[in-house]
Structure 1
Amino acid sequence: METLEQRWRDPAFVADVHAWIDGRLAALGRPRTGEVEQPHVTDWSTVMRVPTGSGPVWFKANDEAMAHEAAVLELVASRSGGRVPPPLARDPRTGWMLLADAGPRLRDVIAEEGTLTRWHDVLEAYARIQLACEDDVETLLALGLPDRRLPTLPGAYAALLAGLGDVDPRLPGPEAVEELCDALAAYGIRETVQHDDLHDGQVFLGAGVHQVLDWGDACVSHPFFTLAVTLEGVIAWGVHDEEDSEDLEPHLAAYLAPYEAAYAGDLREAARLAMRLGWVCRAVNGALPQDPERTHVRLRMFLDGKP
C-alpha cells in the first residue's frame, strides 16, 4: 500500500501540483522563474519551494486530517494584526496553499544572537491573536479544527490510554483529568484557537515582525494549553538545549499580560494548571499510531514536566 510520503513524491502528484502552482502564480502576476524543489516530505504533509522574480513562495499540501489548515490560516491571519501571514492562494477542495517567504526562522536567529528574549514579543502577540479569535470558535470548528475544549478532554484521554500499550502505571484516570479541567474552567477564560505546536521552528521574522506559521496541528482548546509545548517543551531548554537552563517567568509574564488585562486578574495559577493539562491535549491531539513513543513522552510531561 502506498504511503503518504510515497504519494507526495509520485510523479503524477508532483505534476498536478506544478500545474496548480503555475496557474495560481500566473493569476498573482508573479510567474515561476526556475525549478520547484521539494525539501520537506513527511507522513502528513509536503512543502515545495518555488522561485519567482520577486522572491520564493512556498507550496504546502496536508493529509486529510489537516487539510483545513489553509482555511484556518486565512481566518486567523485576518485577526492577527500582521502576525500570521495569509495564504497567497488556496484550494478549498484539496487544502493546497501558496505562502509568501516568511524570512529567517526564529531558531536560526536565536542561535546567532544567543538569547531567547525575542520570545517575549512572540508570546504577547500570540496571546492577542488568541483573544481576537474568541468569537470565532464555532467557525473554526466548522472549518475542521479538532475540538479539544475542556469538556472533551477527559473522554479523549481515556480513549487514548485504552489504545496505548505499556501505559505508565502512575498516570491518573480520567476522573483526575476531569477535576483539573473543572478547576481550570472556574477561571472563566474563553476557549479559542490554540497552535498546539508553537516552537522556534514555526516562528519567522517576515515583514519585519515575528510571524507564526504552520497551524496544521492547531485545535480549539483552552488558550493556555499552548504553554506546555512552548514553555516547558522548548523555552525551558534554553539557547543550548540544556534542561531547565532558562527562567520561564519573564516568558510567562509576556504571554499572560494581554490575558490579565482582558480578564482583570492574576492568572498564574490558571497557567500552572493549564501547563499540566496542555500535555494531555498535546498527547491526544498529536497522537500518531505509527509513533506511540511520542505520545508516551507527552504523557510523561503531563506527569512530571520532564520527558
Structure 2
Amino acid sequence: MSRTVTLVLVDDAGRPLGALPPFEVPDPWWQQVASIVDGARRRYGVDVAVLRLLDADRPHPPGGHVRYLAQLTGAPAGPGAAGGVPLEPATVDLAPHLLRQPWAQVGGPARSVAWAIDELRRLGRPVTAVAQQRTWNLSAIWRLDTPEGPAWLKQLPPFAHQEPTVLTWLATGAGVEAGPVVLAVGEEGRLLLEDVPGEDLYGVGEEARAGIAAAHHSVQLRSVGAVDRLVAAGVPDLRGVALARWVRERLAGHDVSVAAGLLGGLDERVRRLRDCGLPDTLVHGDLHPGNARGGDARRVVIDWADAFVGHPGFDILRLTEGLDAPAAARLVAEWADRWRADVPGCQPHRAVDLLRPVAPLRLAAVYAMFLAGIEPSEHPYHVHDVPAALAQAAAEARR
C-alpha cells in the first residue's frame, strides 16, 4: 500500500502559493513524512517542511490521497510557482487554531531545528544534515546527523509532557539502560535524544518479546519505590480508583453505551485488582514490540510519551497482542512467575484476568484525550479508535 500526496505550499510569511502536482510515496502511514520531503525534492527540486495534515479522501489512515500543508524552504518563490515548478490553485483554510501544535505552524520546524542544532553545537557535535521524519498531532521527529553519529529531535504535545521526566529517571534510577539518552530538554515540548542503533522491532515473535518482558520487569521492579517521586514530577497517576476516575473524565461526551456495564463496575474492579497484591509501578503505556529498538545483543524501549504510574499488568497485555493464544499465555505465565518471586503472595494471573477489559478501556480514554487536545483536521488519526477500543473492552468483559 502507498499514498498519493498533494502538498499545499506557503512561504515564510504563511502566504499561500498553490499546490504541487500530486505524487506517490511508498509508505502509507500519514504521519511519516521523510518520503514526502524526499519526493518533493527529487520530483520538483523544492525543499519543504511538512507542517500538518489538511484532509484525506478516506476517513482514517493508512493510504489514500492525502493533502498536507508544507512550508517552502530555501529560495523564496512568488505565487504560482516554486523553484520553476508551476503550482496548481488550492483552497485551504489557513486560520489559526488554539490547539495547533508549535511544529505545525509556519516557522515552527525551523525554530525547533535551530534549537537542536544549537544544543548539539554546545555539546561539540556540529550538525552535517537534517531530515524531517514524522509530523502529526502526537509528535514531530527529525534526524540530525553529526560526526559522532545521529541524534533525534522529538517534539511533544502538552498531554505527553511526561516523557522527558520518565527518560531522566530511567537514566538515573532504573539501574539499566531502559530508554534513549536525553541530550537536552527545551521549551514547547522539545527533546533531543541520542541515537539508539538498530531497528524498531515491529513484528518480532515470542522469543524477542520474552526478552523485552524480562528486561522491562527489572525496570518496573526498580520503579516501585519511586512512584511517588514520579507522580510528584508530573507523571500521570493512574493508581487504583484514580484510574477509574480518569477514564470516566476522558470519555465524557463519547458514546460509551457498548461498555456501560464495564464502566459502571470499574471502581469495584480496580479495588479487586488492588487486592491481588501487585505493587504500582512505572508503566510504559504502549509496550508493543515496535516501541523496542535494537538487535539480539541490546534492546532499548523507546517512546515513553504514554507512561503513567499504575498497574504493571497493562504492559504485559500490550506486549502479547498479536501473538497466538499459547504464545501469549506463556509470556503471561513467565511474567507472573517473576512477580510471584519478587512479591510473594501476590496473584498475577487473577490480576491480568481482571485487567483484560480495562486495558482497551484505558486506550479508549487515551484516544479521547488525544481528540480533545488536537485540532479537528487531525481527528481522522484517532476518531475511529475510541469506539473500536470500547467495543474491544466490552468483548473482553463478556469473556
TMscore range, shorter length: 0.7 to 0.9
Ranked by relative contact order (alpha carbons within 8 Å, sequence separation 6 or more), the top structure is 1
Contact 1:124 1:256 in 2 (8 A): no
**1:190 counterpart = 2:279:** yes
Distance in 1, Cα, partners of 2:234 & 2:136: 21
**1:295 counterpart = 2:376:** no
Deviations 1:13-58 (A, max 9, x none): 2222222112211222221112x11111011210101111122110
Q: Which moved more, 1:199-208 or 1:72-81?
A: 199-208
Distance in 2, Cα, partners of 1:145 & 1:248: 29
Q: Which moved more, 1:151-160 or 1:46-55?
A: 151-160
Structure with max Cα Rg:
2
**1:144 counterpart = 2:234:** yes
Q: Which amino acid aligns with 1:251?
A: L
Distance in 2, Cα, partners of 1:98 & 1:21: 7
Cα gap change, 1:160 to 1:19, in 2 (>3 Å):
closer
Q: What's 1:285 paired with?
A: 366
Return the offset for 1:121: 0.8
Cα gap change, 1:162 to 1:262, in 2 (>3 Å):
same
Distance in 2, Cα, partners of 1:134 & 1:37: 39
Return the offset for 1:179: 1.8
Contact 2:203 2:289 in 1 (8 A): no
Q: What's 2:133 paired with?
A: 39
Return the offset for 1:120: 0.4
Q: Which moved more, 1:4-13 or 1:48-57?
A: 4-13
**1:82 counterpart = 2:177:** yes
Contact 2:282 2:309 in 1 (8 A): yes
TM-score by length of 2: 0.66
Residue aligned with 1:171, SS: helix
**1:270 counterpart = 2:351:** yes
Residue aligned with 1:201, SS: helix
Distance in 2, Cα, partners of 1:209 & 1:53: 23
Distance in 1, Cα, partners of 2:101 & 2:365: 26
Which has a greater percent of helix? 1
Q: How many residue pairs were aligned?
A: 290
Question: What is the CA RMSD across the aligned residues, in angstroms?
Answer: 2.5
Deviations 1:96-139 (A, max 9, x none): 211122123343573xxxx3311101011112111111122222
Cα gap change, 1:208 to 1:247, in 2 (>3 Å):
closer
- 5 Å matches for 1:17-166? 17-34=112-129, 36-78=130-172, 79-91=174-186, 93-107=187-201, 110=204, 115-165=205-255
Q: What's 1:256 paired with?
A: 336
Cα gap change, 1:254 to 1:85, in 2 (>3 Å):
farther
Q: What's 1:241 paired with?
A: none
Cα gap change, 1:209 to 1:305, in 2 (>3 Å):
farther
Return the offset for 1:262: 1.0
Cα gap change, 1:158 to 1:17, in 2 (>3 Å):
closer
Residue aligned with 2:153, SS: strand
Residue aligned with 1:38, SS: strand
Deviations 1:207-243 (A, max 9, x none): 9411101010111111112233222xx3xx24xxxxx
Runs of 5+ consecutive residues of structure 2 not aligned to the other structure: 1-94, 372-378
| Fraction of identical pairs, as percent | 26
Contact 2:259 2:390 in 1 (8 A): no
Residue aligned with 2:206, SS: coil
Distance in 1, Cα, partners of 2:250 & 2:215: 33
Return the offset for 1:305: 3.8
TM-score by length of 1: 0.84
Deviations 1:229-268 (A, max 9, x none): 222xx3xx24xxxxx4662122213333432211124521
Contact 1:32 1:52 in 2 (8 A): yes
Q: Which amino acid aligns with 1:284?
A: A
Q: Which amino acid aligns with 1:293?
A: H
Distance in 2, Cα, partners of 1:95 & 1:248: 36
Q: Which moved more, 1:23-32 or 1:5-14?
A: 5-14
Distance in 2, Cα, partners of 1:59 & 1:247: 36
Cα gap change, 1:206 to 1:49, in 2 (>3 Å):
farther
